[in-house]
Amino acid sequence: MTNPPADDRAAESRADAASHEADGDAPAAGMDELGALRQELEQVQAQYHRAVADYQNLQRRAQQERLEHARSTLTSVVRGFLPVADDLGRALDSVPSEIADHQWVEGVRLVRQKFQNVLAGAGVSEIAALGERFDPQVHEAVGYGPGDDGAVVELVQAGYAIGDRVIRPAMVFVGSGEADEGSSSGAAPD
């Protein structure tokens, strides 16, 4: 069999298309294709929205990790400097009264104050202790002494926090409920 001429093939194609149109196949095929394209578009849009949400979550997590790293670094540095603050405080507390007005003692007081200001500027605050109710979240009991039951009666070492995060708990003596007879030496807690 020989192939019909090109004009005959074009005429056959037109006739087939006309017969399909008459049967209603062409519009249905077009509608199926349009529905498939819409479904594909919806899938691509859903993937896009998921990708955007994933990216936003990644950005938020990265920001939180940077903040946590900065907070952790600050905490570590401050912990290293707290013994210096303690030593300055002990030095000033042990100055004999006859030289308390000496210039170098005032200089040490100013250095301590400047150090406290630097800590405060970094968001570090001293934990309230003396006279407060004992709170195991921020206080560490090192003994009991005469005074109101459950109240902090003596501060052994200052505690510090950054915001609501405790860097170092305050070391304290807790009241035993006995009347104060002068000294607050006590036994270690159980």
pLDDT band for 188, please (50, 70, 90 cuts): very low
Whether this prediction's pTM lies above 0.85 is answered by no
Mean pLDDT of 35-63: 94
For domain 123-183, say whether CATH 2.30.22.10 is its number.
yes
Is-contact 159 136, C-beta < 8 A? Answer: no
pLDDT in tens, 63-119: 999 999 998 999 999 999 999 989 998 999 899 988 888 899 999 999 999 999 999
- In sequence order, the 6+-apart residues with CB closer than 8 A to the CB of 4 are 12
160 touches 140 (CB < 8 A): no
